[in-house]
Structure 1
Amino acid sequence: MKNNNIGQITQIVSVVVDVQFNGYVPAIYNALTVQLPRGGQIVLEVASLLGKDMVRTIAMGTTDGLKRGMEVVDTGSPISIPVGLESLGRIFNVLGEPIDNKGPVKSSRRDPIHRSAPTLVEQSNTASILETGIKVIDLISPFAKGGKVAAFGGAGTGKTVIMQELIRNIAEEHSGHSVFAGVGERTREGNDLYHEMLDSGV
């Protein structure tokens, strides 16, 4: 009996990969895996449904080695990452794999990278200010707890320094946790930031 959760690659355009299934359609955000002949695997995330059992996916890595006709398996669940105290101070790639040369993460819990936003009932309806410890920010442009803040500026204007100070203050003054996501960040810059935070004790 043929497994319906197995499809075939029909088109590859950069990191966009189309996969054809037969009588089966994986859910949006599901993780699909492709085994490479040279060893290892590539993970694809379902981005859209094209109809007629075909899905369009985004490769979570280089597509070198992929070709039309290769077998694709639906894992039946989204990409998940380790969570909990064991993940503090660690660096992960988008697949939740540690890339800081500190060994595997001994966490018993993994959560999907796509989750529903908190409902209105779960959110606080009282406005309060987050004291950053940076006087000029707290005086001129205070941050509201639960709000969103953007920092704009050219290279070398101090955005990263402010962010490091915010992370330090949230950890030491508020006993909180911070998550830094490098989206489109250069590998060198991310590495420099990590070592700067280690050296500064953040």
Structure 2
Amino acid sequence: MTRTLSPYCRVTGLPGGALIADWKRTRFLGMATADVERFADEGSGERARLLEGLVRAGCAPPGRPADADTDIGRWLRGGHLLIRTLGFGRVLRLLPLVAPQYARTDTPSPADVARLKRAVQTVSRGSWFVNGDCKTEAVTAFVLLRRRGFEAALHVGVREHPFALHAWTSAAGLSIPDADPRGHAFAPVLTIGC
């Protein structure tokens, strides 16, 4: 049994317990079978105590920092530049390299996704370079959510009359940007990450 916590951190089940390996910082932490069973069976209070112990030992960061607007701006500008130079199709093929597929056991809260949506759209519309491009916003939101370990799906949709294409990322029941801008429904023709 191997479970991925992040691109560099893995939990591997062993006969005597489990091993948490952080390959980026080359740190390892072993847990006995009794600790693993207690962690799986106990409530959130026991998990919180274990997490505090991991933070004190330096095996886990003290908190997951929210993406700053400057980081979102960099991802937006970089994504927009890649889409303009390589093309949208090639950027979609590169997404598994930038946004690895791994999932945390918890799901993103709608409040976190709504905050990310507001930040992405605010930075995008405030930049003369990006200027509210749906492809750039969708790719940026997809990459940021997946790099934090959350499940996200990037959709590309089409509408016939008048013909138009639209891209959006969905997570926790929300879409970044909106799946139906200005009330026009788009039929998904491509979905990445489901």
Normalised by the size of structure 1, how large is the TM-score? 0.22
| Larger relative contact order, structure 1 or 2 (CA cutoff 8 Å, min sep 6) | 2
Normalised by the size of structure 2, how large is the TM-score? 0.22
